[in-house]
Amino acid sequence: MSQTTRLHSILSAMKTQWRALGGFGKVAVFGVVLSMIMAVALGFTIPGLVRAWTFEMRRPLQTGDSHDAQFAVGQTGLMALDYWDADNSPEGWTDAEHVQSSNEGWIEVTIAAGDSMGMRSIEATVASITVDGDSSDWDQLPGLDMVLDPIQGEGAESKNARVKAAHDGEFLYVLMTVDDDYDWVVDELHLTASPSVMWAVQPEAGPHMGTDDLAGEGPSMGMVDIWHWELQCVIGEQQGGAVSDVDEAKPGNDPGCNFDDEFATDPEERYDDGDAEGPAGEGAENSLLGVFSHTDPTNGNPGTWTFEMSRPLQTGDSYDAQFEIGGAALMALAYWDADNSPEGWSDAEHVQSSNEGWIQVLVSR
C-alpha cells in the first residue's frame, strides 16, 4: 500500500469515528490531535508515533587515514547501510540484532563531476580498436569537440580538436585529432607537430601539469602522467614503448620513435618514468603504442592530424595513471605547432585543453 493510499484510509476511518462521537468527545479528540500536530511541528518526539529518522553526515573526500575509504571526483565507491532498532527487546538492541542493506550486496556510489561541476566528460566505451592511424573504427563512438588554447601569456594559435576514448577490457584507447597543416621534417623535432595526453595520477592534481594556475606556475598539487609524443618516426609506423627497445636508464623513454611515458611532480619539470634524476618510484615502464596520420601529408598542406594511441588499463607503474572499468580518470590534451616560429615550437608555446579544466573519462562497464 502506498503512503498516499494509507493516508486516505486513515483519514476515512477517522471521519467515521468522528461522526460517531458526541460533542464533548469531539472536543477532546480535537484537542489531542491538535497537540500531536503542534508537537510534531515543533520537533518534539512522541513515543510510539512512527516517523522517519534522518541521519545526515559528511566527511572530507580525502583524509590521509589508511583505515578510511578515500573518495575522488569521478570515482566509484562501495557502500552498505545498517540500522539498530531500540525496540528489539526490553534491553534494546545488541550488536548482532540489526537490519542491513548488505544482503543484496554493495551499493555503488559514483561521485559525479561532469556538467554539475563544470567539468567536460566523455565515455570510454567498450569497442574493438586497431591502432593503425585509421580512425574509421571510431566512427560510431562518441567524442568531445574542443578548442585548444595557449597557456596564459603565450602567443600560440588556437586549434580545433576532438577526442574519443574506448577500451576492450585490457587496453585503453585514445583518438586525438587536430585541425592543422602537415609539418614533418626528418630529425627536426621542433619543426614537426607534436601531441600529448596528460592524466592525473593523484586526483588532487591540477590540469596545468599538476598545478591549477592558468600560467602553469606555482606548486604542483599532485603527480601527472604524460604521454608525450614527438613525431620522430614516419607516418603510419607503430611507435612507443610497446614496440621499441627498452631504455634501461630511463624505462619511460622510447629511444626508437620518441613516444615517451613521462611524469611530473613540478609544473616546470618532467621526466621519463624511472629517470634517476627525477623522484623515485616503482615499476617504471613504457607500454604505449601509437600511430599517426594526416589527411594530406604534404608539408604545408592544410588538413587534420590523427593521433591514435593505446596503453594497458593497469601497468603497475607508480608514475602512471591506472584505469579501472567502471571508474573515471582525468585527462588533458596539448599540441605543439611547428609553425609557431621559424625555429618551430618551444615547450611553452603550445595549445591545450587545460584552460577549461580536466576532461573526465568514464571507463564504461
Model confidence pTM above 0.85 = no
Beta strands in the chain (DSSP E): 76-79, 82-83, 99-100, 107-110, 120-126, 144-150, 159-167, 171-179, 194-200, 224-229, 259-266, 269-272, 289-294, 304-312, 328-336, 351-352, 359-363
The pLDDT score that the predictor gives to residue 347 is 87
Whether 1 has a pLDDT exceeding 60, the answer reads no
pLDDT for 41-52, tens place per residue? 445 555 665 568
> Please, which residues bridge with residue 224 across strands?
200, 264
Q: What is the pLDDT of residue 353?
A: 97
Predicted confidence band at 227 (pLDDT cuts at 50, 70, 90)? very high
Supply the pLDDT for residue 114: 43
Retrieve residue 9's grid coordinates. 484510509
Mean pLDDT for 66-81 is: 76
How is domain 114-363 classified at the CATH fold level? Immunoglobulin-like (2.60.40)
Strands 159-167, 120-126: pairing is: parallel
Q: Which residues contact 271 (CB under 8 A, 6 or more apart)?
A: 250, 252, 262, 263, 264, 277, 278, 279
Residue 88 φ/ψ, nearest 5 degrees: -60, -35
| pLDDT, tens digit (0-9, with 9 covering 90-100), for 174-184 | 999 999 999 99
Give the count of beta carbons closer than 10 Å to the beta carbon of residue 43: 6
**Can you give the residue ranges of every domain in the chain?**
1-59, 71-111, 114-363
Q: What angle do CA 127, 131, 137 make, to 5 degrees?
A: 45
Q: Per residue in 170-223, pLDDT tens?
A: 999 999 999 999 999 998 999 999 999 999 999 999 999 999 988 888 899 999
The neighbour count for residue 162, using CB atoms within 10 Å, is 18
